[in-house]
Structure 1
């Protein structure tokens, strides 16, 4: 039985960007077709420093530089981007509450940008309060799969890495968690989590 369970946020409890959100971002950025493909490549390639605490303006400047362009409405782009990351999987939220009610110690380890944290917490503070530790990449200065992120998370929970069962939707993050001693699984579904815990 796993008593200390750490979840990734996006792709596990929170939903990734919907097609509608993606189209909204593309519209504000003024991209389509091949330019949209290049935009998303730059969006993700420039993301790690943003996840680790970089200022939003610097992030979007880096994306624009990568593309050799300028965005006409950076505040609108920031807003569309933040809004694209606030939806959750209600089945997973129910599971979080259930596990907390059963006495499990829960932790969250998420690569997340600083501007998004207050917005996400304002909307989802009720169930986030069930976590013993919320470890955000932007607040600790490192992002998964950096080994330090996992060690900081375990330390905040007051346990050794080997006492943690960790779920993430990305194989690379799971491998990195195992390398620091955590038991880790690629997230598939709430049913999978129930079976393993």
Structure 2
């Protein structure tokens, strides 16, 4: 996290791996089952093809077809496209501790937002009632904006949608490169490790009252 900063009045959360469980766990397990490097699908999901899914240029189906073809050509394994799709869907589980934290932050007067690199196809899930969207001041989705993290421009956009100066926003992400992008845009940013540490940081920055803990 950066050093001294002005008073923080808003918190923006990444979705996958922060508000939800680790989105890559099932894909790592499937790769291990196939006898290929555990990071095979994770590397694909962090690569240029999936980046185009996250900016709305490609569909999730495009990525799945690429993933299967790439693994067969490079590693000589047949990937079950339905199984891989199910692995990705397995990460769509909200952390209840984070929902409670969001509710506590709003109750204590902080603005909260979401900034997510996501596929268009995921929208039907996260708008289905699994998250208390009414609590969020802004939800910025890369697939709708045509921008994705770690581009500092999408962090500036998130600050604008939150109605806050970048330096008054705290940002949590589980990916170091996205934290770097947030810092470059002027936000206070921290790598997310677990809900307890996230709550501790919010408490230290006086975003939570003592009764919240």
Q: Distance in 2 between matches of 1:5 and 1:159?
A: 10
Note if 1:88 corresponds to 2:94.
yes
Q: Provide the C-alpha distance between the structure 1 equivalents of 2:98 and 2:173, rounded to a whole number of angstroms.
A: 13
Note the residue ranges of structure 2 that are not aligned, 5 or more in a row.
Answer: 1-6, 208-213
Distance 1:47 1:154 in 2: 25
TM-score (norm 1): 0.82
CA shift, 1:153, in A, is: 0.9
1:39 CA drift (Å): 4.3
Q: In structure 2, what is the equivalent of residue 63 of structure 1?
A: 67
Residue among 97, 104, 114 paired with 1:108 = 114
Does residue 187 (structure 1) correspond to residue 189 (structure 2)? The answer is: no
CA change 1:155–1:131 in 2 (3 A) is: same
Per the alignment, do residues 117 and 25 of structure 1 end up closer, same or farther by CA in structure 2, a change over 3 Å counting? farther
Q: Deviations over 1:14-71 (max 9, x none)?
A: 111375x3378559xxx61127654443343232222222211221232234332897
RMSD of aligned alpha carbons? 2.6
Q: TM-score, normalised on structure 2?
A: 0.76
81 and 157 in structure 1: CA distance in 2 versus 1, 3 angstrom threshold:
same
Q: Where does residue 151 of structure 1 map in the other structure?
A: 156
Q: How far apart are the structure 2 equivalents of 1:149 and 1:92?
A: 23
Taking the aligned partners of 1:35 and 1:175, their CA distance within structure 2 comes to 27
1:65-94 deviations in Å (ceiling 9; x for gaps) = 43328977545543x145222112211110
Q: Distance between the aligned counterparts of 1:37 and 1:7, measured in 2?
A: 24
In structure 2, what is the Cα distance between the partners aligned to 1:185 and 1:171? 8
Match of 2:44 among 42, 45, 50: 42
User: What is the aligned residue count?
Assistant: 191
CA distance in 2, matches of 1:6, 1:36: 30
Name the SS for the 2:15 alignment partner: coil
Structure 1 stretch displaced more, 150-159 or 93-102: 150-159
